[in-house]
Amino acid sequence: MKNIIFIAPPAAGKGTQSAKIEKEFKIPHISTGDILREKAHEDSEVGRYVLEVTTTGGLVKDDIMYQMLEERLSKKDCKNGYILDGFPRNVNQAEKYDEILKRLNQELGYVIVLELSEKTLEMRITGRRVCENCGLVYNINTDNMQPKVESTCDKCGGRLKQRNDDNISSFKTRYQVYLEKTQPLLDYYKQKGVLYVVNGEGSVDEINQAIRSILMEGKNK
Ligand SMILES: [Zn+2]
């Protein structure tokens, strides 16, 4: 069973790595954002509540979030594992997640954290470009992630743009919040013996290889 919690600072390449693991191990990628979007379409009391809260920019109550997460994780496609992205974000949520796993008779599995220097993250943030048309993400400061033609999407020919919040000052704030919230969470999982630290400075393939070797052999603890 490959239950994975994936933790990484902003711009660490978590999305790219999640997508690879999802494909290679045939396990679903589950984010709280996706759960909310799906639920908002449902014709039920909870569905209508989620739709209302999310369209008005509010936050869904914790208890309802946990309930939806438990429902999602009890689905058939999670039987052989899943990648949990964006949850838990703090120790309180981690404790709730433990309770959910206990009820589902599931194990914690692997907590994988990508570690990168602040300098590298800054380079990635300032180099990130997104296709206006299809949303594909490029990075002009990272090998193998540059577009073939400058400012042009390889896939659809759309124009590449820098997102407004991809700048140094917004990054510094997001990174600080990440460190503050995440460190206690990492300590929590380290104590449980399920924390695996992956060096996120390498190429996409190198990082993927490191994650795969953890999932196959339980190495790099
Ligand atoms: Zn495109």
pLDDT, tens only, 107-145: 999 999 999 999 999 998 899 999 999 999 899 988 788
Q: Is the pLDDT of residue 199 over 90?
A: yes
Cα 142 to ligand 1 centre (Å): 18
With 60 as the cut, is the pLDDT of residue 220 above it? no
Q: Find the catalytic residue in 2, 174, 190, 212.
A: 174
CA separation (Å) from 20 to 25, 153, 205, 209?
A: 8, 21, 10, 10
Other beta carbons within 10 angstroms of residue 138's beta carbon come to: 19
In a domain, 125, yes or no: no
Tell me if residue 163 is catalytic. yes
Active-site residue (options: 72, 96, 128, 129): 128
State residue 218's pLDDT score: 55
Residues whose beta carbons lie less than 5 angstroms from ion ligand 1? 131, 133-134, 136, 153, 155-156, 158
174 is an active site residue? yes
From CA 177, how far away is CA 88, in angstroms rounded?
15
Residue 106 lies in a domain: yes
Percent of the chain surpassing pLDDT 90:
74
In the predicted structure, residue 184 carries a pLDDT above the cut 60: yes
In a domain, 107, yes or no: yes
Mean pLDDT computed over 81-102: 94
Q: Give the structural domain span for 16.
A: 2-27+80-117+168-217
The reply to whether 95 falls in a domain is yes
Is residue 130 assigned to a domain?
Answer: no
| Bond before 88 cis per omega within 30 degrees | yes
Domain containing residue 92: CATH number: 3.40.50.300
Domains in the chain: how many in total?
1
Is 93 within a domain? yes
Nearest C-alpha neighbor of 81 from the set 126, 37, 28: 28
Q: Is residue 211 part of a domain?
A: yes
Q: Is 128 a catalytic residue?
A: yes
Report yes or no on whether pTM surpasses 0.85. no
Given a cut of 80, whether residue 203 has pLDDT beyond it is: yes
- In sequence order, what DSSP letters do the residues of 174-204 get, joined into one string? HHHHHHHHHHHHHHHHHHTT-EEEEETTS-H
pLDDT tens sequence across 144-165: 889 999 999 999 999 999 988 7
163, part of any domain: no
Q: What is the pLDDT of residue 212?
A: 94
